[in-house]
Structure 1
Amino acid sequence: MNKRVALGLFSGGLDSILACRLVAAQGIRVIGLQFVTPFFNEELPARQKEYAGEVYSRYGLEVQLVDMSSDYMHLLDKPVYGFGKHFNPCIDCKIMMLSKARELLPRYGASFLVSGEVIGQRPMSQRRDALRVIERDAGCDGLLLRPLCAQLLPPTRPEIEGIVDRNQLYAFSGRGRKQQRQLAEQLGVTDYPAPAGGCMLTDPNLARRFRQYYSGVFPCGEQRSAEDIRLLTFGRQFKLDKDVWFILGRDERENNRLASLRGIDDWLVSMTSRPGPLGLVRHAQSMLARSAAEREMIPRLAGLVVRFGKKGCDGRESAEVVFDKGDEQELGIFSPVTEEEVNSWRV
Structure 2
Amino acid sequence: MKRRGLVLFSGGLDSILASKVLEAQGIEVICIKFITPFFGQRALKDPEREKARVKEKYGLTLELIDISQEFIEMLHDPSHGYGKYLNPCLDCKILMVRKAVSLLEDFGASFVATGEVIGQRPMSQRRDAMRIVERDACADGLLLRPLCAKHMRPTKAEIEGIVDRSRLLGISGRGRKEQMRLAETFGIKDYPTPAGGCLLADPILSGRFKEIMDRYRDPDTNDFLLAQTGRHFFLEDGSWLVVGRNQGENRQIEALSRKDDIIIKAKNAPGPTALWRNYKDKASKEEVLAIFRRYVKKAPEDLCIVMNVLSAEAREDDSNLGHEQ
Range of TM-score over shorter length: over 0.9
What is the CA-CA distance between 1:190 and the residue it aligns to? 1.2
Match of 2:157 in 1: 158
1:233 maps to 2:228: yes
Match of 1:341 in 2: none
TM-score, length basis structure 1: 0.88
Match of 2:250 in 1: 255
- Determine the C-alpha separation between the residues in 2 that align with 1:318 and 1:186: 68
- Determine the C-alpha separation between the residues in 2 that align with 1:230 and 1:183: 37
Asked whether the 8 Å contact 1:306–1:318 carries over to 2, the reply is no
What is the CA-CA distance between 1:317 and the residue it aligns to? 5.5
Letter in 2 for 1:90: C
Match of 1:18 in 2: 17
Match of 2:297 in 1: 310
Asked whether the 8 Å contact 2:87–2:200 carries over to 1, the reply is yes
Letter in 1 for 2:305: V
Letter in 1 for 2:230: G
SS of 1:155's partner is coil
For structure 2, which runs of at least 5 residues remain unmatched after alignment?
A: none
For structure 1, which runs of at least 5 residues remain unmatched after alignment?
A: 289-293, 334-347
Letter in 2 for 1:187: F
Asked whether the 8 Å contact 2:237–2:284 carries over to 1, the reply is no
Match of 1:344 in 2: none
Aligned residues: 317
Provide Cα deviations, 1:209-249, integer angstroms capped at 9, x if missing partner.
11122222xx46xx221100011112110022232210000
Match of 1:144 in 2: 143
Out of 321, 327, 343, the position equivalent to 2:305 is 321
Match of 1:331 in 2: 323
- Determine the C-alpha separation between the residues in 2 that align with 1:240 and 1:80: 31
- Determine the C-alpha separation between the residues in 2 that align with 1:154 and 1:242: 55
With over 3 angstroms needed to count, the CA separation of the structure-2 counterparts of 1:206 and 1:317, relative to structure 1, is farther
Superposition CA RMSD, Å: 1.3
- Determine the C-alpha separation between the residues in 1 that align with 2:235 and 2:132: 44
1:264 maps to 2:248: no
Asked whether the 8 Å contact 1:142–1:156 carries over to 2, the reply is yes
Provide Cα deviations, 1:54-90, integer angstroms capped at 9, x if missing partner.
1011111111011111111110111000000110001
Provide Cα deviations, 1:179-217, integer angstroms capped at 9, x if missing partner.
11110001111121111111100111001111122222x
Out of 283, 286, 290, the position equivalent to 2:278 is 283
Letter in 2 for 1:253: G
Match of 2:193 in 1: 194
SS of 1:246's partner is strand
SS of 1:241's partner is coil
Which stretches of structure 1, 4 residues or more, deviate above 6 A after TM superposition?
A: none
SS of 2:123's partner is coil
